[in-house]
Amino acid sequence: MRELVEQLASSHSLDATSLGTLIDACATDPSVLQHLRDNAVRTARQQFGLGIYIRGLIELSSYCRADCLYCGLRRSNRTAERYRLTKEEVMECCKEGYALGFRTFVLQGGEDGTHSDEWLTELLSHIRSLYPDVAITLSLGERSEESYIRLRRAGANRYLLRHEAANEALYDSLHPSGRGIKHRLACVEALQRADYQVGMGMMIGVKGQTTQHLVEDLKLIERYRPQMVGIGPFLPHHATPLGNEPKGDLALTLAAVAITRLMLPKALIPSTTALATLSPTGRLEGILSGANVVMPNLSPSDVRAKYAIYENKASWGREAAEGLNALESELSTIGYHIDYSRGDYNNQND
């Protein structure tokens, strides 16, 4: 198995069969997983040094028109606490975040139909006018190509749109109200045409997922070569059809992060909040698997618990924007530090 890791590290690619073999080995042999992670960390340090970029997460709305089986925000969840931030509340989050040192804001929300292009472009223009040096990332789901272009012109730089499952049957089983993986990928391609830095990604361990599905996910990421890749474990929410399913596996999630780092050495890969929720050391484990981004929560304190994609979400202490000192201290235990720069993707030599 070490030969497969070395091949991946040197050529940044493996054929599908070898990739499946490596994934299965990581799930059963800790020494193979550790060798993979060591190579991923070496690659990440060559690209980024010991700095970890921070993004300030602002959760705009917990309303969502989609009905994804795994998500606590799904429209069929009648027990969900719904909210929408006003423009004034968002601007207050940006003011606080900028003072704390954040130079990237991530505006995330459910697919809320009230977030019209007009509302969003006005908000983006206001943020851009007050904070011209920040990067603005959006994570607002599937929209029209025209919408993506308008938001880009208003000041957005990046867009996160996880593909969730490359396998068509698995995707459809998880997204009964969705328009399918082909439409999802058409949105990704529209974002690329609109000159965003684009993020893709998937969950690890969701019901029905197999090693072959993960291979399809990773090969899709390799083909699209997004600038950002978000990978986290599946975490259940009791008020969803998958509420009684087991959590995603930590080792398998770390393996997927490490493989992605070796496939895309320059990608911006977060050590996700889901990892930090799954395990007390999850965020550090993600960084020690090649991740180089963390996303502390900048949302108003009274709404953080309401943005419940899964339960017991880590959004306080080291996961909160106001906890940067604790985050810095935690990172220092493994030899890293916060990098307060925007952390744009380096497209030289692409």
Cα separation, 34 vs 167, whole angstroms: 28
Which has the closest alpha carbon to 291: 33, 54, 30?
54
What is the CB neighbour count within 10 angstroms for residue 20? 18
Q: What confidence tens digit (pLDDT) does each residue in 215-231 have?
A: 999 999 999 999 999 99
Q: What confidence tens digit (pLDDT) does each residue in 250-279 have?
A: 999 999 999 999 999 999 999 998 998 899
pLDDT of residue 192: 98
pLDDT at residue 110 is higher than 60: yes
Cα separation, 252 vs 275, whole angstroms: 11
pLDDT band at 350; cut points 50, 70, 90: low
Instruction: Please answer whether residues 40 and 50 qualify as being in contact, where contact means their C-beta atoms are separated by less than 8 angstroms.
Output: no
pLDDT of residue 239: 95
pLDDT at residue 212 is higher than 60: yes
pLDDT of residue 250: 96
How far, CA to CA in Å, does 181 sit from each of 168, 169, 228? 6, 9, 19
pLDDT band at 320; cut points 50, 70, 90: low
Instruction: Supply angle C-alpha 291, 293, 298, rounded to 5.
Output: 145
pLDDT of residue 77: 95
Cα separation, 154 vs 62, whole angstroms: 23
pLDDT band at 349; cut points 50, 70, 90: low
Q: What confidence tens digit (pLDDT) does each residue in 295-317 have?
A: 999 999 889 888 889 887 765 55
pLDDT of residue 88: 97
Q: pTM value? A: 0.95
Averaged pLDDT for residues 63-68? 95
